[in-house]
């Protein structure tokens, strides 16, 4: 036990130290004129908008410009804090109600002790997820203005600022989640002098431990759905009223929705995404431990039970070593070096993790053991971890191919825009469907061989493999929204043209890495969900061989219903974005009305629009519209299990996983491709893009894709995981045939 504690605690301490150090350094970057820089940056500004940063001769006043940067950053921070406070207030009420429901279902249907531990785990998991999302949001709103300031003086400093801010998110989240889960398991161990006192009760408490992952994913669901509706309502509203109607740049300060758009990048793409991947980490680890606890050999071996946490801890060391390549060994000094540097992080971390996973497998697992009906070996588990690890890399690179404008798929979308928006939509949808093929094939190979070697424990270890370098994945994922905000701040503050060229280059690469991050999250969600399915089968005591037959009408009905749920969920979230965006467009039209005094003043750049009104619209709409999708996800497995029984619920989970993965991949990649097609055309046309019908066609495609790539697609990751983890936690309390069938 001492060796395990040292590995987990020391690696998490390293990760927490890295996160804290970079957070401290970034927060100390001053938003002010550096020493030795003249009072004015002698770059002429021809941009429309608020001219308060320009002197009488048209030159940019540095002092006024830095003050504008500070003010804009303050607006974004205030908006993000206000939204998260409102969201977490609603969420706290829901968590209390749902915790009571869990206590009731498990306590009456099975065992009150197990129910109590499940609820405690659930609350701790939810609190950890909230804290993880808040840390990510806070460092993002601190770093985006600093990235813009650093971009004025070169690529290296700006890249490092955004990248290290991403490291705060990645290392902080993994360290926090891993160490808290380990402490929770140690508290569980205090109940027994010896593990073998009552193996059945111990295994049930490990199933209750899955409540930790359930709490994390509950927060992630509302964070992703609420944050996604918030950011896309603002983004779509800003695009339709600003870029399409007015022909303004994306972050023109005259657009009333622009601050809400930037706030949304932080609450949706940072806080929501962090909670999402924290949920994967927690659920994958819990699934692995639940299945391991069913093995008499592994159950009495503390090192083997803690294997997933050991792998995650070692992955922190690997990610730390890998980060030096981007920040020290191969520093970014030009635009064409940004994307290769970020892609290299994925490759190098995977290569280094390969022998490290062997060390973990051969040192901490017994040579031979029985899991389920499988006689397996530690080298089998090593292969399972490798399959998951390299599947994650393959999915990342395939996602990049279909979403980066350096490759033909996105370029074809851009070329289709010459014939209008409709061909762009057609090409983008086809691209998204095609992009499912190789990722799904990779996931199938991983599941098949992992199950062949080590049963469901092998699949769970494959999920841990794809999550082992999650700190690196989170780093490059968080980098994208930070650079997106930095570009918006640079444009709103009317920073010199060379600064905006640099932030645009950083943002373009970040847009691709954000898409890669979504692909990584979907791949991990697929493996984690299947591992959780195995944990559910174990907890529900369904035999792997012939336990559930698709020929049974209730099982097949569950399969069809489960396959439909992601479509229902997507429809709810997309309609919510459309409803909120409609309100946003009307508010922007009201403020920009050329017949009103306010509209004339804003258009002339003689004052700021009412940003707070648009922030309020996004906040209220997201909080209102996230309730129904959330209830759909949470109540479906409970209702199916209680009324129709475990066989029907097994069908629901299988159908949900199978269709959800396809929709998530195609939606995310379609939206990402449309976004980068717009950027490709903008870069190609330069200043002429504003009035070009080709660019407007691309903007329409991007606007359609926004709710796909940032709301529905990522939220489905959580949908398939959350339904599975709920099923694991309540499995022993469910009737075999269900109340309705009885």
Residues in the chain: 742
- From residue 624, give the alpha-carbon distance in Å to each of 60, 87, 251: 43, 10, 27
Contact 532, 730 (CB under 8 A): no
Amino acid 322: pLDDT:
93
- Annotated domain spans of the chain: 2-30+63-733
R_g of the chain computed on alpha carbons? 25
Amino acid 48: pLDDT:
40
Amino acid 47: pLDDT:
43
What 8-state DSSP symbol labels residue 267?
A: I
Amino acid 33: pLDDT:
64
SS3 content of the chain, % helix, strand, coil (to 5): 80, 0, 15
Q: pTM value?
A: 0.89
Strand partners, 374: 371
Amino acid 198: pLDDT:
58
Amino acid 154: pLDDT:
84
- From residue 453, give the alpha-carbon distance in Å to each of 311, 416, 442, 626, 719: 19, 47, 17, 41, 28
Q: Which two tokens stand for residue 524?
A: 């991990």
Amino acid 574: pLDDT:
87
The residues of the chain scoring below 70 in pLDDT are: 33-61, 191-202, 242-247, 249-250, 543-548, 690, 741-742
For 44, the 3-state DSSP assignment is: strand
Give the span between the Cα atoms of 299 and 120, in whole angstroms.
22
Give the span between the Cα atoms of 308 and 469, in whole angstroms.
12
Give the span between the Cα atoms of 662 and 716, in whole angstroms.
10
Sequence-ordered list of residues with C-beta below 8 angstroms from that of 697, at least 6 positions apart, any chain? 417, 418, 420, 421, 424
User: In the chain, how many H helices and how many E strands?
Assistant: 25, 4
What's the pLDDT tens digit per position in 614-657?
A: 888 888 888 888 888 889 999 999 999 999 988 899 999 999 99
Give the span between the Cα atoms of 518 and 730, in whole angstroms.
29
For 540, the 3-state DSSP assignment is: coil
What is 140-174 written as a DSSP string?
A: HHHHHHHHHHHHTT-HHHHHHHHHHHHHHHHHHHH
Give the span between the Cα atoms of 318 and 289, in whole angstroms.
23
Give the span between the Cα atoms of 246 and 48, in whole angstroms.
12
Give the span between the Cα atoms of 655 and 650, in whole angstroms.
9
Q: Which two tokens stand for residue 78?
A: 């205030």
What's the pLDDT tens digit per position in 564-576?
A: 999 999 999 888 8
Give the span between the Cα atoms of 362 and 384, in whole angstroms.
13
């Amino acid at each position: 036990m001492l060796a395990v504690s040292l590995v987990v605690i020391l690696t998490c301490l390293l990760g927490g130290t890295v996160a804290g150090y970079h957070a401290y350094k970034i927060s100390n970057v001053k938003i002010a004129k550096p020493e030795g820089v003249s009072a004015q940056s002698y770059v002429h500004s021809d941009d429309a908008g608020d001219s308060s940063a320009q002197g009488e001769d048209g030159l940019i006043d540095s002092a006024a410009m830095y003050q504008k940067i500070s003010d804009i950053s303050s607006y974004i921070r205030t908006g993000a804090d206000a939204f998260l406070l409102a969201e977490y207030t609603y969420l706290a009420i829901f968590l209390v109600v749902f915790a009571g429901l869990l206590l009731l279902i498990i306590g009456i249907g099975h065992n009150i002790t197990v129910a109590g531990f499940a609820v405690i785990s659930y609350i701790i998991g939810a609190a950890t997820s909230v804290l993880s999302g808040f840390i990510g949001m806070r460092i993002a709103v601190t770093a985006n203005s600093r990235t813009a300031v650093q971009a004025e003086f070169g690529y290296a400093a700006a890249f490092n600022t955004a990248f290290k801010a991403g490291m705060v998110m990645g290392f902080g989240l993994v360290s926090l989640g891993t160490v808290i889960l380990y402490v929770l398991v140690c508290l569980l161990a205090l109940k027994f002098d010896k593990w073998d006192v009552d193996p059945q009760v111990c295994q049930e408490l490990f199933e209750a431990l899955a409540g930790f992952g359930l709490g994390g994913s509950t927060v992630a669901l509302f964070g992703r759905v609420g944050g996604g509706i918030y950011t896309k309502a603002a983004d779509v509203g800003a695009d339709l009223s600003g870029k399409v109607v007015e022909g303004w740049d994306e972050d023109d300060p005259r657009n009333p929705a622009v601050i809400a758009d930037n706030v949304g990048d932080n609450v949706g793409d940072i806080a929501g995404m962090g909670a999402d991947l924290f949920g994967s980490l927690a659920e994958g680890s819990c699934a692995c431990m639940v299945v391991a606890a069913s093995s008499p050999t592994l159950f009495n071996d503390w090192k083997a039970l803690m294997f997933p946490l050991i792998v995650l801890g070692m992955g922190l060391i690997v990610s730390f070593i890998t980060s030096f390549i981007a920040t020290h060994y191969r520093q970014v000094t030009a635009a064409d070096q940004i994307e290769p540097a970020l892609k290299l992080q994925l490759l190098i971390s995977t290569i280094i993790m390969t022998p490290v996973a062997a060390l973990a497998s051969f040192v901490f697992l017994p040579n031979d053991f029985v899991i389920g009906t499988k006689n397996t070996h530690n080298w089998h588990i090593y292969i399972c971890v490798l399959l998951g690890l390299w599947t994650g890399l393959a999915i990342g690179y395939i996602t990049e191919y279909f979403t980066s404008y350096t490759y033909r798929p996105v370029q074809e979308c851009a070329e289709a825009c010459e014939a209008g928006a409709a061909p762009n939509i057609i090409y983008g949808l086809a691209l998204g469907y095609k992009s499912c093929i190789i990722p799904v094939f990779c996931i199938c190979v991983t599941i098949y061989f992992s199950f062949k070697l080590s049963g469901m424990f092998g699949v769970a270890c494959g999920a841990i493999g794809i999550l082992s370098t999650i700190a690196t994945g989170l780093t490059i994922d968080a980098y994208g929204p930070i650079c997106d905000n930095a570009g918006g701040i640079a444009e709103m503050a009317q920073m010199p043209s060379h600064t905006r060229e640099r932030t645009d280059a950083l943002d373009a690469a970040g847009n691709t890495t954000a898409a890669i991050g979504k692909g990584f999250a979907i791949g991990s969600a697929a493996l984690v969900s299947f591992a959780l399915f195995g944990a559910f089968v174990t907890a529900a005591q369904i035999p792997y061989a012939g336990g559930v037959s698709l020929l049974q009408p209730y099982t097949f009905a569950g399969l069809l219903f489960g396959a439909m749920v992601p479509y229902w969920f997507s429809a709810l979230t997309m309609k919510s974005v459309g409803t909120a965006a409609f309100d946003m467009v009307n508010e922007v039209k009201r403020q920009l009305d050329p017949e009103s005094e306010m509209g004339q003043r804003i258009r002339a750049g003689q004052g700021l629009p009412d940003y707070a009104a648009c922030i309020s619209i996004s906040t209220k709409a997201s909080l209102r519209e996230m309730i129904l999708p959330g209830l759909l996800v949470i109540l479906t497995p409970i209702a199916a299990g209680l009324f129709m029984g475990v066989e029907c619920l097994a069908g629901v989970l299988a159908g949900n996983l199978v269709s959800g993965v396809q929709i998530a991949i195609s939606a995310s990649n379609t939206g990402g491709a449309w976004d980068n097609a717009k950027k490709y055309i903008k870069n190609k046309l330069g200043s002429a893009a504003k009035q070009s019908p080709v660019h407007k066609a691309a903007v329409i495609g991007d606007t359609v894709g926004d709710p796909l790539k940032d709301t529905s697609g990522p939220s489905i990751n959580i949908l398939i995981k959350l339904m599975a983890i709920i099923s694991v936690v309540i499995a022993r309390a469910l009737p075999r045939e269900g109340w309705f069938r009885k």
